[in-house]
């Protein structure tokens, strides 16, 4: 390569021409390639793939059981127990307060669970669906068919009950007494007042109490007092709890099993003050071991045996538990509250649903009542009346 000295007379600029710009020569050592400085291209993630969840967090909770979710949805879906189990507390409370959306929401959740579309609060599928889905469908179908058959049988039996006619028995007319002259008539002795018969409900109540003691056991009632959240050990697997609360926020009492999983018995779930009685262990999915109390104020809980419940009262206010030992009949009921009103009869009949009334707000009507002995639970937020006919 040659270079021109601008001091010599060959400068094109001096000759009136423009000097073209020459690129600087590139020098490279043999066997050496200059590094590329082009920007590195970025590529979007392949469709259908996302970053692994919980990359920097702790271990997630184990998957929720499909069998437990299905049973909760089928038997206690109207109380929102299935959603509480899945960790969806907000919708669980809404479902409870609307009593399963008057049954529609509960039915939809049951169907979603059976078709495998139900998930927990993290959006994860339920564990064991593929293994147990066939059994779940079969049991649900049998349960529905049995409910329809038993409902038809009970309806037919109630319609066929005719009071027995007692035949009239004619009594011979008494012969007139012979008159005795000159003798004063003896005064008839004053009739002693007949002993008043015992109230018909007392004997059945005693029978119901004996039945309850044999069925659910007995123990000494215990009372616990506290303030705020707490955990209380239970003295028996089945009993009733009388609770009171004077706080202004949420007050809830939930029954837990030995693994601290809910058994399906949500005894109290309200806002503010409360006073009432509820039973647990009558239709639960596990054996209750302890109570979980959620409160913001002072509370008191008295745990007593079912056998100590009073006989069925004619009226009351709020939640209550009673014993019934009478015959089958009709029960006229009213409610003047604004929230859920439910009356359930629990007895030894395995296939008896026992749901007598399940309404929101005020209620007035007459429903069939099964024969005792049985336990009657009332859920109400206002005054109510029950008249057995």
The domain ranges of the chain are: 66-132, 203-216+307-388, 219-304
> Which pLDDT band, with edges at 50, 70 and 90, does 343 fall under?
very high
Is the CB of residue 226 less than 8 Å from the CB of residue 299? yes
Residue 296: phi and psi, rounded to 5, are -115, 0
Q: Please choose, from the candidates 324, 338, 346, the residue with its C-alpha nearest in 3D space to the C-alpha of residue 383.
A: 338
Q: Which fold has domain 219-304?
A: Jelly Rolls (2.60.120)
Q: What does the alpha-carbon distance between residue 156 and residue 150 come to, in Å, rounded to a whole number?
A: 10
pLDDT mean over 357-380: 92
pTM of the model: 0.51
pLDDT attached to residue 236: 92
> Which pLDDT band, with edges at 50, 70 and 90, does 176 fall under?
low
Question: Residues, the chain, total?
Answer: 389
The chain-wide mean pLDDT, for the chain, equals: 78
What kind and span of H or E run contains 244? strand 239-245
Using only the alpha carbons of the chain, give its radius of gyration.
40
Query: Between helices 66-76 and 129-160, what is the axis angle to 10°?
Result: 20
pLDDT attached to residue 18: 46
- The tens digit of pLDDT for each residue in 114-148 reads 988 889 888 888 988 888 888 899 999 888 888 78
- The tens digit of pLDDT for each residue in 263-305 reads 989 999 999 999 999 999 888 778 899 999 999 999 999 999 9
Strand order across the 230-233 sheet: 230-233, 290-294, 250-256, 262-271
Do the two domains 203-216+307-388 and 219-304 of this chain adopt the same fold?
yes
pLDDT of residue 181 exceeding 70:
no
Q: What does the alpha-carbon distance between residue 155 and residue 210 come to, in Å, rounded to a whole number?
A: 30
Instruction: Please state which CATH number belongs to domain 203-216+307-388.
Output: 2.60.120
pLDDT of residue 16 exceeding 50:
no
Q: List 294's β-bridge partners, or say none.
A: 252
| Per-residue CA distances from 292 to 4, 10, 233, 299 (Å) | 98, 103, 9, 13
pLDDT of residue 37 exceeding 90:
no
pLDDT attached to residue 23: 53
């Amino acid at each position: 390569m040659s270079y021109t000295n601008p001091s010599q007379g060959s400068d094109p600029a001096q000759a009136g021409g423009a000097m073209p710009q020459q690129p600087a020569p590139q020098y490279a050592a043999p066997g050496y390639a200059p590094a590329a400085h082009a920007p590195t291209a970025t590529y979007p993630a392949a469709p259908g793939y996302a970053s692994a969840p919980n990359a920097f967090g702790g271990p997630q909770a184990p998957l929720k059981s499909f069998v437990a979710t299905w049973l909760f949805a089928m038997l206690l879906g109207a109380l929102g127990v299935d959603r509480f189990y899945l960790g969806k507390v907000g919708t669980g409370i809404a479902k409870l307060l609307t009593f399963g959306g008057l049954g529609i929401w509960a039915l939809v959740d049951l169907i979603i669970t059976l078709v495998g579309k139900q998930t927990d609060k993290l959006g994860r599928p339920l564990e064991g669906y593929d293994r147990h889905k066939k059994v779940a469908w079969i049991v649900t179908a049998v349960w529905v068919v049995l409910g329809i058959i038993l409902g038809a049988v009970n309806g037919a039996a109630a319609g066929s009950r005719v009071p027995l006619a007692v035949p009239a028995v004619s009594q011979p007319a008494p012969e007139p007494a012979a008159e005795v002259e000159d003798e004063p008539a003896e005064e008839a002795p004053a009739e002693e007042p007949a002993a008043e018969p015992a109230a018909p409900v007392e004997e059945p109540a005693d029978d119901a109490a004996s039945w309850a003691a044999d069925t659910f056991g007995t123990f000494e009632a215990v009372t616990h007092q506290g303030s705020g959240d707490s955990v209380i050990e239970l003295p028996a697997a089945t009993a009733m709890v009388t609770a009171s609360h004077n706080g202004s926020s949420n007050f809830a009492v939930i029954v837990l099993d030995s693994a601290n999983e809910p058994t399906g018995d949500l005894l109290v779930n309200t806002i503010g003050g409360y006073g009432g009685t509820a039973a647990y262990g009558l239709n639960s999915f596990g054996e209750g071991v302890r109570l979980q109390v959620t409160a913001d104020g002072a509370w008191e809980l008295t745990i007593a045996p079912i056998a100590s419940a009073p006989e069925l009262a004619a009226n009351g206010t709020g939640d209550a538990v009673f014993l019934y030992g009478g015959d089958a009949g009709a029960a006229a009921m009213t409610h003047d509250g604004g929230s859920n009103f439910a009356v359930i009869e629990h007895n030894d009949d395995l296939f008896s649903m026992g749901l007598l009334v399940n309404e929101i707000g005020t209620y007035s009507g007459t429903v069939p009542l099964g024969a005792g002995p049985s336990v009657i639970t009332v859920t109400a937020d206002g005054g109510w009346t029950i008249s057995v006919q």
